Amino acid sequence: MRDSGPHPTDRRALLRFLAASPLMAGFHALPRWLEWGRQETDIITAAKDALDVFDFEAVAKKNLSPAHFGYLQTGTDDDATIAANREGFNRYQLRMRRLADIGKIDMSVKVLGANWANPVFLCPIASHCAFHPDGEIAVARGAKAGNHLFMLATPATTSVEEVNAARGEPVWFQLYPRNDWNQTHQMIKRAEAAGCPVLVYTVDLIGGSNRLTGTRARRRDPATCTDCHEGGLNDNSRKPMIADLKPAPPAPEAGPATWEFVKRLKDATPMKLVLKGIVTREDTELAVEHGVDAVYVSNHGGRAENSLRSAVECVPEVVAGAAGRAPVLVDSGFRRGTDIFKALALGATAVGVGRPYIWGLAAFGQEGVEAVLNILRRELQMVMRQAGTSTVGKITKASIIDRRGGTY
């Protein structure tokens, strides 16, 4: 398709000319319709009108309370790692190949023995009902419509059994362990009994995170949080995967979260084990040595620590550490088909999206989730066609250039 937008220099010349023109006398600023690109006032009113996933962000902001939107958007410290996650993609350019046969594009991938229709999955995110009353059920149905893997978070506001029914197949279960090993064990066994094939242990918040934007937004919110969160913000009564856990004797301490604990998890369940939040070659090697089945690169969407390191730039060293012994998943900052394409080219097997599907949920419920996922699939398909890569397997290191010329 031809790029039909005005050339930037023509545009600037036009704006300069109009600004100087007597026609504009009396105008303090250029009228909005003369400015290009996304405007604050470009708020869509139907999911079908969205041009990209960011169109849902503005609607989510409008629909949510400041406290809930702040919880969704926050990073840590000054949120600079959120920005770094986006900037990381600019490091990689695409090498487009022409005239390859792109009549049929196959986006399918194989992950831990399962066939996925496409490489895009929905990251585990807590408390979907804070963003829309249909919560995780709407998300599971949206994931089903687009044939995406969904990972359910420990602090979900819907049970794993209900979510599996809505998704039409078992989801992967994300684990935040409890201090009491018995409770952790109960949670694992519940996910296992529900048929979840994979346990995703999140390891990137063990030291705590400094979420200032979220705290500020909560202070700004005129609502009284305890009107809904009756037992305070840490009240788990609306989180069915945690609410029913009972300390049962004997209740040994879970022990420190170390590689020993990874071994304990492995021994506790036949489910496959994924570590979420790995960002280095060394930890990838340790993960593989400890029998971990897949490594999941993530900085929690810039809400773990302010490392200033984008997730996509961590992929090459993690892929090198895995050395073909375990698949590598990645999330944090993925918003466009080209972002997904770049991670696949760097050796990732699948790519997770977090906030974008919640923007869709908060904006239009299930329809919004479906629309976000549609856009991502459509964009990925388009860049695959443009790059002459008719299958995911054809997306390789030769499909991109690292501006810094790194070797891995």
Ligand X SMILES: Cc1cc2nc3c(=O)[nH]c(=O)nc-3n(C[C@H](O)[C@H](O)[C@H](O)COP(=O)(O)O)c2cc1C
Own/partner long-range contacts of 62-66 (Cβ < 8 Å, ≥24 apart): 63/362, 63/363, 64/131, 64/362, 65/221, 65/223, 66/217, 66/218, 66/220, 66/221
279 versus 392: smaller Cβ distance to ligand X: 279
Q: Smallest distance, Å, CB 209 to ligand X?
A: 11
Which residues, 72 to 131, sit near ligand X by CB under 6 A?
Answer: 72, 85, 123-126
Q: Smallest distance, Å, CB 130 to ligand X?
A: 8
- DSSP letters, 347-369, are T-SEEEE-HHHHHHHHHHTHHHH
150 versus 334: smaller Cβ distance to ligand X: 334
- DSSP letters, 35-90, are S-S--TT---SSGGG-SSTHHHHHHHHHHS-HHHHHHHH--STTSHHHHHHHHHHH
Q: What 3 state SS string does 197-241 have? A: CEEEEECCCCCCCCCHHHHHHHHHCCCCHHHCCCCCCCCCCCCHH
Q: Smallest distance, Å, CB 144 to ligand X?
A: 19
72 versus 389: smaller Cβ distance to ligand X: 72
Q: Does 155 bind ligand X (CB under 6 A)?
A: yes
Q: Smallest distance, Å, CB 3 to ligand X?
A: 27
Q: Smallest distance, Å, CB 7 to ligand X?
A: 32
Sorted by sequence, the CB contacts under 8 Å of residue 227 that are 6+ apart come out as none
Q: Smallest distance, Å, CB 327 to ligand X?
A: 17
Q: Are strands 294-297 and 272-278 parallel, antiparallel or unpaired?
A: parallel
Q: What DSSP character marks residue 124?
A: P
Q: Which of 68, 132, 148, 300 is catalytic?
A: 300
Phi, psi of 82 (to 5 degrees): -65, -45
- DSSP letters, 79-123, are SHHHHHHHHHHHTEEE----S---SS-B--EEETTEEESSSEEEP
Q: Smallest distance, Å, CB 100 to ligand X?
A: 30
Give the C-alpha separation, 372 to 47, whole Å.
8
Three-class DSSP category at 245 = coil
Per-residue mark of binding to ligand X, 56-75 (x: CB under 6 A): ---------------xx---
Reading the block at residue 118, the tokens are 């496409």
Stretch that binds ligand X, among 31-39, 138-146, 149-157, 260-268 (CB under 6 A): 149-157
Stretch that binds ligand X, among 16-24, 50-58, 283-291, 349-357 (CB under 6 A): 349-357
Stretch that binds ligand X, among 10-18, 258-266, 298-306, 379-387 (CB under 6 A): 298-306
Exposed (0-12), middle (13-18) or buried (19+): which is 226, by Cβ within 10 Å? exposed
Contact with ligand X (CB under 6 A): which of 164, 174, 213, 310? Answer: 174
CB of 353 within 8 A of CB of 331? yes
209 versus 389: smaller Cβ distance to ligand X: 209
CB of 136 within 8 A of CB of 156? yes
Residue nearest to ligand X (CB): 354
44 versus 242: smaller Cβ distance to ligand X: 242
Which residues, 366 to 395, sit near ligand X by CB under 6 A?
Answer: none
Stretch that binds ligand X, among 14-22, 293-301, 371-379, 389-397 (CB under 6 A): 293-301
Catalytic residue check, 132: no
Q: Does 332 bind ligand X (CB under 6 A)?
A: yes
Contact with ligand X (CB under 6 A): which of 331, 339, 367, 379? Answer: 331
305 versus 331: smaller Cβ distance to ligand X: 331
- Tell me the one-letter amino acid at 159: S
Contact with ligand X (CB under 6 A): which of 150, 334, 341, 359? Answer: 334
Contact with ligand X (CB under 6 A): which of 64, 353, 384, 400? Answer: 353
Q: Does 238 bind ligand X (CB under 6 A)?
A: no
Could you give the C-alpha distances from 379 to 190, 205, 331, 375, 385, in angstroms and in order? 37, 32, 17, 6, 10
361 versus 392: smaller Cβ distance to ligand X: 361
The residues binding ligand X (CB under 6 A) are 71-72, 85, 123-126, 153-155, 174, 202, 276, 298, 300-301, 331-334, 353-355
Q: Residues with catalytic annotation? A: 300
